[in-house]
A and B are shown apart, each in its own frame.
Chain A
Amino acid sequence: GESVGLHLPTLSVQEGDNSIINCAYSNSASDYFIWYKQESGKGPQFIIDIRSNMDKRQGQRVTVLLNKTVKHLSLQIAATQPGDSAVYFCAENSGGSNYKLTFGKGTLLTVNP
């Protein structure tokens, strides 16, 4: 079936470095993508989203890039801080009138001080 996956299950970076988390999706009909951050024992927190009519969107210290040709999504975090340590999920609109989301497996980001 359709799925959203991640290339790297874990990522360890030094404080102050930039982080890049990648995600591959398989449903070429998907038109909406979201990145969520989940800290241990908490619910996912919305970070940034992007629609398929865009290839880049920037937020505060975060940038999402969408490459529809290769069905690839990435999240870039600038000047990574210890507070950024969490599991990051990409999610894909599964279609339909309710805009169900299909979540990727998640990447654990660890920021070393």
Chain B
Amino acid sequence: GAVVSQHPSRVICKSGTSVKIECRSLDFQATTMFWYRQFPKQSLMLMATSNEGSKATYEQGVEKDKFLINHASLTLSTLTVTSAHPEDSSFYICSASSGAGDTQYFGPGTRLTVL
């Protein structure tokens, strides 16, 4: 149980284009989903927290207009990187929990490379 998937696992795009990453909880309802970014040999940095049906809460320094998050259902959240640039290249990981105080389960991550 507690499986989280992400799609795509890997994406390469040109600078200036937008990329959408999906995060799905496969066997539980995720009231809260989190989006993280991880650069090579570094730790996970939280970007934003989203509750189903509500606007996402972004961490300080994360541009909400650049990283659009939608959490329209209890099993799906999407992260759209708009007008991507090479510095946005990173490993993006989502996690999901079924409620406040419950364990976060992580997806396998999406490797984004912006040329």
Determine the interface band of chain B, counting residues with CB < 8 A from chain A: 20 to 34
Cβ-based interface call for B104 (8 A): yes
Q: Which residues of B contact A98 (CB under 8 A)?
A: 32, 49, 51, 57, 100
Determine the interface band of chain A, counting residues with CB < 8 A from chain B: 20 to 34
Give A31's nearest chain B residue, CB to CB: B101
B111 & A43 in contact (Cβ 8 Å cutoff):
no
If the complex has contacts A100-B34, A101-B46, are A43 and B100 also in contact, measured as CB distance less than 8 A? no
Give Cα A99 to B43, complex, Å.
18
Cβ-based interface call for A97 (8 A): yes
Q: Which of these binds chain B: A12-20, A56-64, A72-80, A103-111? A: A103-111
- Report how many A-B pairs have Cβ atoms within 8 Å: 56
Interface of B is mostly: strand
B109 & A45 in contact (Cβ 8 Å cutoff):
no
Give Cα A32 to B103, complex, Å.
10
Q: Which residues of B contact A42 (CB under 8 A)?
A: 108-109
Give Cα A101 to B93, complex, Å.
13
Cβ-based interface call for B44 (8 A): yes
Quick one: which of A34, A42, A45, A104 has the most chain B CB within 10 A? A42
Binding site for B on A (CB under 8 A): 32, 34, 36, 41-46, 49, 89, 97-106
21 contacts between A and B (CB under 8 A): A32-B101, A34-B103, A41-B109, A42-B109, A43-B4, A43-B6, A43-B107, A43-B108, A43-B109, A44-B93, A44-B95, A46-B103, A49-B103, A89-B44, A98-B49, A98-B57, A99-B32, A101-B104, A103-B45, A106-B42, A106-B43
Binding site for A on B (CB under 8 A): 2, 4, 6, 32, 34, 42-46, 49, 51, 57, 93, 95, 97, 100-109, 111
